[in-house]
Amino acid sequence: MEKAILVNLATNKQEKEEAPDSMMELELLAKAAGAQVVAKVFQYRTQVSPKYFIGEGKVEEIAQLKEETEANLIIFDHNLTPIQQRSLEERIKARVIDRTQLILDIFAQRARSSEGKLQVELAQLTYLLPRLTGKGRALSRLGGGIGTRGPGEKKLEEDRRRILKRINKINQEILKLQKRREIQRQARRESPVPLVSLIGYTSAGKSTLFNSLTKESTLVSPNLFATLDPLLRRVELADGTYFLLSDTVGFIRKLPIELVTSFRATLEEIEEASCLLHVIDLASQRVEEQIEAVEKTLVEIGINDIPIIRVYNKIDLLPNRLELLSLNDRSDNHSVYISALTGEGLDQLLLKLRTLLFERFQFFKLKIPRNQAELVASLGRWSLITKKIESNDSIELTLLAEPKKIRPFLDYLNGGKEGEAQA
């Protein structure tokens, strides 16, 4: 396990106040990457050093701390320029990476799908391209480890032309995958089955909620960015209606622009949703900052007209959980308090989703003659078929549809409306 020293520089009063929380998050990121944090270094100065980012005195302090702790990795809670990174490595005699490199490394470890791996490699190469000069020698001298996974040393030592060629090839492969995804999304757009996407700050409990709603057993981990590749499963409601639920990558403050760009195809899943569930860790001391980070990212990727339900999670960790649960009966359809772990509040969440997703829909019963069975296929394109009973001479269906779309089938109504969706 690599031993890491974390470094934070604050250049104004607000950054100084936020520094402890930011460093706490950086420590979680470092642990998620597989490092042991042996020291944290803070500095407050109004000017950033063009050569070292931090002051020269602080550089010497870190070099001494490195010897005392036997650290072999220095992680900055900021983005460094190529010059700053090389100058620091030469002066401290240890590998230096910044926040972006650390996050990219975690993504390189966690990506499982072909598309996810391509997106990570693209993000890494885009980030490393301006840092190629001298980087190969530095890596050869300092060895591998956190921040060097993915393309690897050999690729980093290639000339810019070959790196650019690789980036171009990855873009072409991702484009092919995007086209395939677009075909799948188009089929979903034409389907009446709503898509609900889970979004939220990393470690807010999205995967736990996904498992609770879908009865699945996907990976749940306290590590940041445990879920990278999007998952899609069906969720059944008590009255037979259903929707598709998607779990997505967690957001974070200062999410690297390379990842926002490279993971655009993954984030496009969110754009197709009928509703977003913004899962919030209510027990977090930084809850407001995390909400702001997620909403800022949504604005950056152009999400502004999709209904959002704020799902305040982890109430089981709070002393006033019963009081919070009582708010579910009085609150509107845009917020709900739950514990994805214990299941408290999930019924109210599903009721709110039922209302939001199907408020214009009603139940109908149809009886289709066997000799007109081809009509059944057409019904599935604009309604949710919740029950189907076949006999020798007919097919009886219970379906959920907008009343205006059922008009051409009035002759097949069998018993009229079974019930109405909640409004």
Q: What is the pLDDT of residues 67-90, one digit of tens each?
A: 999 999 999 999 999 899 999 999
pLDDT at 421: 38
Q: Which residues, other chains included, contact 81 with Cβ-Cβ below 8 Å and sequence gap of 6+?
A: 50, 53
CA torsion angle for 315, 357, 246, 101 (degrees, to 10)? Answer: -70
Question: Is the distance from CB of 264 to CB of 258 less than 8 angstroms?
Answer: no
Low-confidence ranges of the chain (pLDDT < 50): 134-143, 416, 418-423
Amino acid identity, position 54: I
pLDDT at 333: 75
Question: Is the distance from CB of 269 to CB of 198 less than 8 angstroms?
Answer: no
Q: Which residues of 197-222 are buried (b: 16+ CB within 10 A; e: fewer)?
A: bbbbbbbbbbbbbbbbbbeeeeebee
pLDDT at 305: 85
CA 49, chain centre distance (Å): 34
pLDDT at 138: 43
pLDDT at 324: 93
Tell me the three state secondary structure of residue 404: helix
Cα distance between residue 301 and residue 101, in whole Å: 22
pLDDT at 260: 67
pLDDT at 420: 42
